[in-house]
Amino acid sequence: MNPAQCSILFYLLLGAVGLSGCQPVETEVEVESIRSIKSITLTSKIQAVEQRRFPGLVRVANSSVLSFEVPGKVLEITVDIGDQVVAGQRLAVVDDEPFKLKVQSAEADLEKARANSKNSASDYKRKKELKEKGYISASELDQALAQRDAALNQVTMVQSQLQITKRNLRNTALKAPFGGYISKRMVEPHQEVASGQELFQLDGLEEMEVELLLPENIIAYLKHGDVGMAAFPGLPNVHVEGHISEMGTRAEAANTFLVSLRLKERPPGLYPGMTAQVELSINRGAQAEGFLLPATAIVAGIETGPGHHFVFVYSEKTGTVDKTPVFISGGQRQMARVSEGLQTGDIVAVAGTSFLSDGMKVKLLNEQE
């Protein structure tokens, strides 16, 4: 290479070096990644109202076991199981001949007593006149007066006996006290029955109720008139509102109390003995108030005991979240009720808690985000 070519090459290399020095130097800048979280701000505690479901059995609200008030031989039965009857309808009859004879005997006794009373009254009147004339003593008049009063009392007694025999005669026919269905029949024609022996069970037509056995830790929070909603496994998509009409005051088996929920209506296909599920609102009062949080806000506390869990509370001062222990005392409206560990104004993370850690720096999502 001659000297001229060397000079040209030198200047070309010098220019390339100069151009490369003008280019900016690229450097990597580490950008801090801050997670955005969805949150809610706690306003005020709400009253603890739990929705609880309890099993029960359907029964008629008006049901009665019927029997004769007098003994005798059953001559006629006019109804059978499943028959619908109206109030006053005759259901069965016992032999009334002995009772007719007793009525006749009582009527004869009454006539005799009335005649005796009339004679005693006349005798007293006559002796009173004799006493005024001085023909008899005062003791004889007193005796006549006592006989008159005794005869009058005998009339009253025999009249009462006659009324009883007539009433027994009327009761030889057993009648329905109200309209309904014959759900049981425990008697046959020509059977000798005793007074008070169970013969029929009559169930009312319309009013139904659900019988529940509620635990002792629930009964104290209920009262007469409280509303419940009944569903029936045998009648899909049927729900009937009712109110508590009866509450037992003595514990049954397993420390449960008998409660009756009177239904507002009787849907078609609902019969006594069917099963039911009743949903009741249990208001535990101020001692169980709390904040409602969705399940996504709760971090399970596996080793801290029942009810003890965690939530992440956002600090506006530091821009971080703190893992805060809380106590969950129940549920309401498909949300967890936190009764301890939080206060009004706390900002709680309600989503993505599995990606958060104590002291982690975050930012809050706005409504548009």
Residues 78 and 180 in one domain: yes
Q: What percent of the chain has pLDDT over 70?
A: 86
Output the six-digit token pair for 170.
Answer: 């009327």
- What radius of gyration, in Å, describes the C-alpha atoms of the chain? 47
Q: What is the CATH number of the domain that holds 342?
A: 2.40.420.20
Q: How confident is the model at residue 342 (pLDDT cuts 50, 70, 90)?
A: very high
Q: At what angle do helices 97-133 and 138-170 cross, to 10 degrees?
A: 160
Q: What percent of the chain has pLDDT over 90?
A: 65
Residues 291 and 358 in one domain: yes
pLDDT reported for residue 48:
65
The type of residue at 84 is Q
pLDDT reported for residue 334:
74
Burial 22-44 (b: 16+ CB within 10 A, else e): eeeeeeeeeeeeeeebebbebee
Residue 293: which residues within 8 A CB-CB, separation 6 or more?
40, 311, 335, 336, 338, 348, 350
Residues 88 and 189 in one domain: yes
The rounded Cα 323 to chain-centroid distance in angstroms is 42
Last residue of a domain, one of 267, 285, 303: 285
Residue 334: which residues within 8 A CB-CB, separation 6 or more?
none
Residues 320 and 336 in one domain: yes
Residues 80 and 183 in one domain: yes
Instruction: Return the ∠ at Cα 250 (arms to 247 and 253), rounded to 5°.
Output: 105
Residue 111: which residues within 8 A CB-CB, separation 6 or more?
none
Nearest alpha-carbon partner for 99 in 159, 165, 153? 165
What does DSSP assign to residue 119? Answer: H
Distance CA 117, CA 340 (A): 89
* Contact by Cβ (8 Å): 298, 311: yes
pLDDT reported for residue 12:
44
Q: What is the CATH number of the domain that holds 265?
A: 2.40.30.170
Output the six-digit token pair for 204.
Answer: 């009312």
pTM: 0.57
Last residue of a domain, one of 285, 313, 333: 285
| Each residue's pLDDT tens digit, 192-219 | 999 999 999 999 887 899 999 999 888 8
Residues 86 and 104 in one domain: no
Give a yes or no: residue 2 inside a domain: no
Find the helix or strand (DSSP H, E) in which 10 lies.
Answer: helix 3-22
Give a yes or no: residue 25 inside a domain: no
Mean pLDDT of 353-367: 86
Q: What is the CATH number of the domain that holds 143?
A: 1.10.287
Is residue 11 predicted with pLDDT exceeding 60? no
Q: CB-based burial of residue 144 (10 Å sphere; 0-12 exposed, 13-18 middle, 19+ buried)?
A: buried
Out of 69-78, 139-148, 333-342, which region has the weakest mean confidence (pLDDT)? 333-342
23 Rama sector, left if φ>0, alpha if ψ -120 to 50, beta otherwise: beta
Instruction: Return the ∠ at Cα 273 (arms to 268 and 275), rounded to 5°.
Output: 80
Output the six-digit token pair for 52.
Answer: 């609880």
Give a yes or no: residue 19 inside a domain: no
Query: What is the Cβ-side half-sphere exposure of residue 297, based on CA atoms within 13 angstroms?
Result: 27
Query: Domain range for residue 74?
Result: 67-92+175-204
pLDDT reported for residue 34:
85
Last residue of a domain, one of 285, 314, 348: 285
Give a yes or no: residue 16 inside a domain: no
Residues 74 and 199 in one domain: yes
Residues 247 and 312 in one domain: no
Give a yes or no: residue 295 inside a domain: yes
Residues 193 and 81 in one domain: yes
| CB count in 10 Å sphere of residue 14 | 10
Give a yes or no: residue 7 inside a domain: no
Residues 225 and 277 in one domain: yes
The type of residue at 278 is V
Give a yes or no: residue 139 inside a domain: yes
| Each residue's pLDDT tens digit, 218-263 | 888 899 999 999 999 999 999 999 999 999 989 888 889 999 999 9
* Contact by Cβ (8 Å): 21, 329: no
Residues 272 and 224 in one domain: yes
Q: How confident is the model at residue 354 (pLDDT cuts 50, 70, 90)?
A: confident
Q: How many separate domains does the chain show?
A: 4
Give a yes or no: residue 248 inside a domain: yes
Q: What is the CATH number of the domain that holds 198?
A: 2.40.50.100
Is residue 366 predicted with pLDDT exceeding 80? no
Residues 267 and 146 in one domain: no
